Amino acid sequence: MIKVSEALEILRGACAAGSTEMIALRESAGRVLARDVQSDVAWPPFDTSAMDGYAVILSDFAAGKGPVAERPGLVGAGAAPPAPLKKGEAVRIMTGAPVPGGTEAIVPVEKVLREEGAITALASPERGDHLRLRGESIQEGAVLLSRGRRLVPSDIALAALAGADPVHVYRRPRIAIAVTGNELVATTAKPGPGQLRDSNGPMLEALCRAHGAEATARLPVADEDDAVRRLFAREAADEDILVTSGGVSAGDLDLLPAEAQRSGFEILFHGVAIRPGKPVAFGRRGDKLWFGLPGNPVSTSVCFHVFVRLALDLLSGAEPAGPVFVSALLARPITIKGKRETYTDAVLSVADGTLRAKPMRSRGSHDLGAYASANALIRVPHGTETLAEGAVVDCLVLGDRL
């Protein structure tokens, strides 16, 4: 049995970024950039006013000077740059309008007395007041967003000002999901004796989509040789990864690893020193990958977050790849059974300005009731037996819940 770190190394070696495509910028939230976005304009694009007011020259407002003449008309946003300011003149200007050359400050409209074509400032303006200078935020030619970035809405605003539309992104990984088990019935059915509803299939579809992949569900697979053989035989050309649940541990009906191998998959690992999720399997046939996740719902989810998320990020070109970990203080002691690297479901919250992780009182890897309230997984390193209250722990943030 290999360690989690070794399994993650194997994944890094087996997963590479796929092809790219151009898509409309407004459709790109959550997609990963395949090229840097460089700005072809400066921001602001011209010297501009931050307030509705007057463009002025400072010396006109020195102590003892009288009202300053107002140039007729006004400059609004979208207007062409007005003629330069002359001494003894103020130009009425709106927010976002180009300022006349020679402007040293903007006096907000609320800070002037306006009488008979002239203004008096209520307080002396200072150099640069309410002026936004061309390029002070972004210089022309600057790289605004780097390849590998998963786009969030503020990135889309940046890309928009840079004219990166359509935008070059990696294709979404395509995932096929298949659940296995004779005991499973559809979510729409009432389970008979010995049966239960398939919760992993809908969860895995949702997890894949929440992490930027396209997911399709295959028909459920019975614990029978023929059914499992058909599962691995069927080759959908556009699938990058087959993710299965169940059938990978050591029971008589756990048929998947042997059948995957018979169907030409190279098994890159089967069995990782992780709790929960020890029987997790990973294989490759050509450019198709297979994740065999154990069927207990908490194990399925933990293995998705620890292993499948890394693969999805690597296939989508996202950097850094894999889940985000944060440090928190343990809110109550925990004791670990066995030596495996352990992921304990927990609630992360801020108390007294400090991030704290409170482990759930879970009954095990079937305990979806407890798990559903968690927003993080505490990672307890391989070989650790106990952790005291107040210990600093690494927490995998369940991105879909925080």
Contact between 362 and ligand AMP by CB under 6 A: the answer reads no
The distance of closest approach from Cβ of residue 208 to ligand AMP in the complex, given in angstroms and rounded to an integer, is 15
Contacted by 200, from ligand AMP, Mg ion, none: CB < 5 to 8 Å by type: ligand AMP
Instruction: Between 247 and 276, name the residue whose CB sits nearer to Mg ion.
Output: 247
∠168-169-173 over CA atoms, to 5°?
A: 155
Instruction: Between 183 and 319, name the residue whose CB sits nearer to ligand AMP.
Output: 183
Contact between 246 and Mg ion by CB under 5 A: the answer reads yes
Contact between 199 and ligand AMP by CB under 6 A: the answer reads yes
Helices (H), 67-199: 153-161
- Between the CA of residue 228 and those of 73, 147, 174, what are the distances in Å? 79, 39, 21
Q: How far apart, in whole angstroms, are the C-alpha atoms of residue 329 and residue 346?
A: 12
Instruction: Between 38 and 199, name the residue whose CB sits nearer to ligand AMP.
Output: 199
21-26: long-range contacts at Cβ-Cβ below 8 A with a sequence spacing of 24 or more?
21/168, 21/169, 21/170, 21/171, 22/166, 22/167, 22/168, 22/169, 23/166, 23/167, 23/169, 24/165, 24/166, 24/167, 25/156, 25/159, 25/160, 25/164, 25/165, 25/166, 25/167, 26/156, 26/165
Q: How far apart, in whole angstroms, are the C-alpha atoms of residue 91 and residue 75?
A: 8
> What string marks each residue from 284 to 303 as x (binds Mg ion by CB under 5 A) or -?
-----------x--------
> What string marks each residue from 194 to 233 as x (binds Mg ion by CB under 5 A) or -?
----------------------------------------
Out of 201, 277, 283, 322, the residue judged to bind ligand AMP by CB under 6 A: 201
The distance of closest approach from Cβ of residue 188 to ligand AMP in the complex, given in angstroms and rounded to an integer, is 14
Where do contacts with ligand AMP occur on this chain (CB under 6 A)? 179, 181, 183-184, 196, 198-201, 245-247, 249, 251, 294-297
Where do contacts with Mg ion occur on this chain (CB under 5 A)? 181, 246-247, 295
